[in-house]
Amino acid sequence: MAQVRNKQVLLKNYVTGFPKESDMEIVEGSITLKVPEGSSDVVLLKNLYLSCDPYMRILMYKDTPLSLGFQYSPGSPLTAFGVSKVVESGDPKYKKDDLVWGVTKWEEYSLVPSAKILFKIDHTDVPLSYYTGILGMPGMTAYGGFFELGCPKKGEKVFVSAASGAVDILKNKLGFDEAFNYKEESNLDAALKRYFPEGIDIYFENVGGKTLDAVLLNMRSHGRIPVCGMISQYNLSQPEGVTNLANLIYKEIKMQGFIVSQFYPLYPKFLEFILPHIREGKIAYVEDIVEGLEGGPAALVSLFSGQNLGKKIVAIAPE
């Protein structure tokens, strides 16, 4: 049976410190476009878009502390979220040309177990690439973390860290009431007091370290801190110490770490909520799409340089 080229991005070595492009390498493998005989639980995917997400850095550690059901190892392609088209399916739930999003690999074609997280894409009046972001894993992360763990009430004050991007774009284009660049603030505590004179009810935590420490001083009584990520810590050999945790007691704060998969059962409800917002133009959404698998390593590395704006995606095949 004919084989086709299957370009891949492999992890070259486990990473210490900031990830570099050279920690990955592009290779040209080949693949037979056929599900192996008798594989009733395997799907062959043609990958269209791959998603660059900060958690991938944690999986690049030897002995990663993160268990997502998949791991990275040197010499293997990165496993990550993407949007794909079904080439062939051993699992009768999927058929040729179905569009799916979920866990695939950084390569042109992937054989994945169908039991891995795959969601069928039913709505294609919105850009397919959105299923790597606002309509996919990151969207569910924001939705579940904010609504299910944050339990927002009308009038409450919300702080989101690492809403990366230029401050003027966050305010003028993305609709935040206020925004500041932490690199321009010599005193984070003072900055938070300026923007939240009455304190913070919900802190959507993406950063950790010094930012968390300053936020803890500015939380209100009965505040909630959904802990989505701590990106400032992922590349440090020794994480920063957080010193203000006693505020959890004084202010009766609930701080809750989560992994998005716990919210997957809410996906249909989430779509019902978010799709009308998108169709009616009520949500500003920015994508930063890199063309070609070759650009993948640089795209991934850029997440940690602070220059990222919008959802970083690698487009590897036309829709």
51/141 with CB nearer a second copy: 141
Query: 90 or 150: whose CB is closer to a second copy?
Result: 150
- 17 is an interface residue for a second copy by CB under 8 A: no
CA–CA separation, 114 and 43 (whole Å): 6
* 65 binds a second copy, rule: CB under 8 A: yes
Contacts of 17 (CB under 8 A, 6+ apart): 235, 237
Query: For residue 53, which of 43, 68, 75, 73 has the smallest C-alpha distance?
Result: 68
Distance CA 97, CA 101 (A): 13
Whole-number Å distance between alpha carbons of 161 and 185: 14
Q: Which of 90, 229, 295, 296 binds a second copy (CB under 8 A)?
A: 229
Applying CB under 8 A, among 256, 266, 267, 304 the residue interacting with a second copy is 256
Size of the site for a second copy (CB under 8 A): 36
Spatial CB neighbours of 94, under 8 Å, sequence gap ≥ 6: 43, 86, 100, 114, 118, 120
Smallest gap from Cβ 291 to a second copy, in A, equals 32
Query: Judged by CB under 8 A, which of 67, 186, 237, 305 binds a second copy?
Result: 67
Residue whose CB is less far from a second copy, 8 or 141: 141
Q: For residue 127, count other CB atoms closer than 10 A to its CB.
A: 18
Does 255 interact with a second copy (rule: CB under 8 A)? yes
Choices 45-53, 65-73, 92-100, 189-197; region in contact with a second copy by CB under 8 A: 65-73
For residue 301, give every residue at least 6 positions away whose Cβ sits within 8 Å of its Cβ, in sequence order, or none.
Answer: 18, 19, 20, 21
Q: Which stretch binds a second copy (CB under 8 A): 61-69, 187-195, 275-283, 309-317?
A: 61-69
Dihedral sign (CA 216, 219, 223, 227): negative
- Shortest distance in whole angstroms from residue 148 CB to a second copy: 12
Among 69, 152, 175, 239, binds a second copy (CB under 8 A): 239
Does 245 engage in binding with a second copy (CB under 8 A)?
Answer: yes
- Decide if residue 265 touches a second copy (CB under 8 A): no
The Cα–Cα gap between 3 and 107 comes to: 15
Contact residue for a second copy among 24, 60, 212, 299 (CB under 8 A): 212
Radius of gyration of the chain from its Cα atoms, rounded to whole angstroms: 21
Least separation in angstroms between CB 72 and a second copy:
15
Provide the binding-site residues for a second copy, judged by CB under 8 A.
58, 65-67, 208, 212, 221, 227-230, 233-234, 238-259, 262
